[in-house]
Structure 1
């Protein structure tokens, strides 16, 4: 794309915050500032971020809490200055960052509309022409004439979103806005964002909801400990991000299992077999897969067992639970019960999967333990999705037989 269509350009953006959590940190920071030393104790929130956003693009930011997402958005919005690097932003920016930021708590909602519009450079006439539209979008009723300090968090977000969007920014920056508010307001926000993007607007969306990132954004950036870990197509980035969390969760569960609590139900052992009873991790499409295991129940009562199959990125495919299928795990020895579930004519499409075994209490209400096992379905196919469903093509009612 040509340079004139670039609305945001970041080069080498680094942001350090001084450490002041303890008295010692504060003293060292003050000493460094007074002595003009460059060794001020600091926390690095962002490290060498390079990024360009073009007009009409929709870019999502994903990452764990503390990864630097909010800091990056604040730098783009001009709220925070970077420690190093250059920032170039062209066009009017509408930012919905921290809840209620930019609002005066003692002013009413209507007065805060006037204040926000003035800060955005609108004249009194332009503001008056848009007040009714803003009030209608916020839909907070008579509360519009009450001080902001009496608003709920959802009401603050409603008003903030109404102000930011009605002023028609060139770039809209949102930080977890869709996580607050009721379902009807979320639908209203998403509908507005879809119209905004369809009209050529530019969106920077920070969210922990991969659904919203995939729905609203074409591209995404994954920030990890302040660094840019992955940038690309939104579906590719979110898939890798979800796979990272699946692996992280699996590692944490393995660490937890290293010191098991034998006073609660747990999976003693679980494994995968083929149709001949051989343990394996590679299966052919259409073959047989058997998930087996031994569960511990401290009260010596048959537990409820759940076995699920998921894609490697965590997408659920199928789950079976013993009490729904009328199966009672048999007692192998005191407090130990066996189970196996057999999948004939495996319909999974080629790819990597996980089998998850879960043990629950005897009522099937509480889940206590999980064991995961990876396996691969081999083969080549041009079919799409997760499973191969029996199907037949016909001419249809409107065609010729």
Structure 2
């Protein structure tokens, strides 16, 4: 249904009115004009087959909306090819395609005419469109007086009136109220069950996971990751957590290698792996944290092991002193520990395990070392941990 190959989109950047006029004059004369450029899209390629649901995720300004405009035919690609097969229904910018001075009813008639419907067929669909939009008497008021929620209600009702072969939506569910969101989701789910093709742009990972099987992570105009919706959203959320992390990150072995007057974590491993890459733990799997602690006075130290989200949100902590565990003496001034966390109840996402060296009394905490691990799985549950539960 949708096929993109090396699609790029470039916009000229003008710093002044004189620069814009010079560019326009050069274009009218058919001569090249040197100007700065902004590359909104760069070499994007992917396919969306009939009946598939695909989401675009990424930060504001990544190029998602520009990509949707190119696919919908609103903007022309500067390079590459775009092939669309079938009728497209697109709901892009808020109020796009509406005449602000026309009433809701008049805009329905205008939109249907632009879609090629005769006046008779427009009248057939108008009642269903008005009912779906559910904006009451405002349907006979000029659109310029509508709230953003009313505009998106009417736009979605029009875009879906003829059940398009491909539906393209840009942040539709972020504007409407709760009841309208539920109505949209129900319509989309029914649309997909009947073999429709959906291309959705959203900042809600819940909606992405609920409605889409494939996701594309757009970053700086490029496709950073394409794949299963749950895997892409997991990595995207982990990247967000990493961006907002405020805690100081130390690599294994960051503590001083020799001597010292404080208790230090000398080494740390997750599931007995030495890789610098995040350790992957399946949902409900086992996490084993092990390592060694340096004791300057050769007294048996204590160890604290904690788990936090990548953004620093605490999850849980375990203390050897509280549990009555004694670290093992491997050699003079060096003690080892192993902590096993079976049946890990964490939801899919990115986490950090931290080992904190403590004095023998368990009163003071010294340096720490931390390692990242990712919990892999498919779940739309929210929060941090998975609670055992039963409905009745």
TM-score > 0.5 by shorter chain: yes
1:165 has 2:160 as partner: yes
Q: Of residues 168, 185, 206 in structure 1, which corresponds to 2:180?
A: 185
Give, in whole Å, the separation in 2 of the partners of 1:384 and 1:148: 42
Q: Of residues 352, 355, 358 in structure 2, which corresponds to 1:354?
A: 352
Partner of 1:127: 122
Partner of 1:14: 8
Please state how far the C-alpha of 1:154 moved relative to its aligned partner. Answer: 0.3
Partner of 2:269: 282
Q: Of residues 99, 104, 127 in structure 2, which corresponds to 1:104?
A: 99
Q: Residue 105 of structure 1 aligns to a residue in which SS?
A: coil
Give, in whole Å, the separation in 1 of the partners of 2:115 and 2:372: 55
Q: Residue 194 of structure 1 aligns to a residue in which SS?
A: helix
Give, in whole Å, the separation in 1 of the partners of 2:151 and 2:388: 51
Which blocks of at least 5 consecutive residues in structure 2 are unaligned?
250-262, 272-285, 291-304, 318-338, 355-367
Checking the alignment, whether the CA contact within 8 Å between 1:353 and 1:374 is kept in structure 2 is: no
Give, in whole Å, the separation in 2 of the partners of 1:91 and 1:384: 32
Please state how far the C-alpha of 1:20 moved relative to its aligned partner. Answer: 2.2
Give, in whole Å, the separation in 1 of the partners of 2:54 and 2:378: 26
Decide whether aligned partners of structure 1 residues 286 and 145 sit closer, same or farther in structure 2, where only a CA change above 3 A counts.
Answer: closer
Decide whether aligned partners of structure 1 residues 95 and 352 sit closer, same or farther in structure 2, where only a CA change above 3 A counts.
Answer: closer
In the TM superposition, what are the counterparts of 1:150-161 in structure 2 within 5 Å?
Answer: 150-161=145-156
Q: Of residues 57, 64, 72 in structure 1, which corresponds to 2:67?
A: 72
Please state how far the C-alpha of 1:166 moved relative to its aligned partner. Answer: 1.6
Please state how far the C-alpha of 1:42 moved relative to its aligned partner. Answer: 1.2
Give, in whole Å, the separation in 1 of the partners of 2:243 and 2:124: 52
TM-score when normalising by structure 2: 0.68
Decide whether aligned partners of structure 1 residues 352 and 15 sit closer, same or farther in structure 2, where only a CA change above 3 A counts.
Answer: closer
Checking the alignment, whether the CA contact within 8 Å between 1:348 and 1:387 is kept in structure 2 is: no
Please state how far the C-alpha of 1:197 moved relative to its aligned partner. Answer: 0.4
Partner of 1:37: 32
Checking the alignment, whether the CA contact within 8 Å between 1:32 and 1:39 is kept in structure 2 is: no
Q: Residue 221 of structure 1 aligns to a residue in which SS?
A: strand
Please state how far the C-alpha of 1:375 moved relative to its aligned partner. Answer: 3.5
Give, in whole Å, the separation in 1 of the partners of 2:247 and 2:51: 42
1:375 has 2:367 as partner: no
Q: Residue 166 of structure 1 aligns to a residue in which SS?
A: coil
Decide whether aligned partners of structure 1 residues 134 and 388 sit closer, same or farther in structure 2, where only a CA change above 3 A counts.
Answer: closer
Decide whether aligned partners of structure 1 residues 107 and 30 sit closer, same or farther in structure 2, where only a CA change above 3 A counts.
Answer: closer
Give, in whole Å, the separation in 1 of the partners of 2:58 and 2:152: 22
Give, in whole Å, the separation in 2 of the partners of 1:389 and 1:151: 43
Please state how far the C-alpha of 1:377 moved relative to its aligned partner. Answer: 7.7
Which blocks of at least 5 consecutive residues in structure 1 are unaligned?
1-6, 256-275, 290-306, 321-343, 357-371, 392-401
Q: RMSD of the alignment, in Å?
A: 3.8
Give, in whole Å, the separation in 2 of the partners of 1:377 and 1:11: 35
Partner of 2:362: none
Checking the alignment, whether the CA contact within 8 Å between 1:347 and 1:389 is kept in structure 2 is: no
Please state how far the C-alpha of 1:89 moved relative to its aligned partner. Answer: 1.0
TM-score when normalising by structure 1: 0.67
Please state how far the C-alpha of 1:90 moved relative to its aligned partner. Answer: 1.3
Give, in whole Å, the separation in 2 of the partners of 1:281 and 1:85: 48
Decide whether aligned partners of structure 1 residues 376 and 246 sit closer, same or farther in structure 2, where only a CA change above 3 A counts.
Answer: closer
Decide whether aligned partners of structure 1 residues 37 and 220 sit closer, same or farther in structure 2, where only a CA change above 3 A counts.
Answer: same
In the TM superposition, what are the counterparts of 1:205-354 in structure 2 within 5 Å?
Answer: 205-250=200-245, 281-282=268-269, 309-310=307-308, 318=315, 346-347=341-342, 349=344, 353-354=351-352
Checking the alignment, whether the CA contact within 8 Å between 1:352 and 1:374 is kept in structure 2 is: no
Partner of 1:26: 20
Q: Of residues 166, 177, 198 in structure 2, which corresponds to 1:203?
A: 198
Checking the alignment, whether the CA contact within 8 Å between 1:19 and 1:29 is kept in structure 2 is: no
Please state how far the C-alpha of 1:310 moved relative to its aligned partner. Answer: 4.4
| Length, aligned pairs only | 308
Give, in whole Å, the separation in 2 of the partners of 1:206 and 1:14: 18
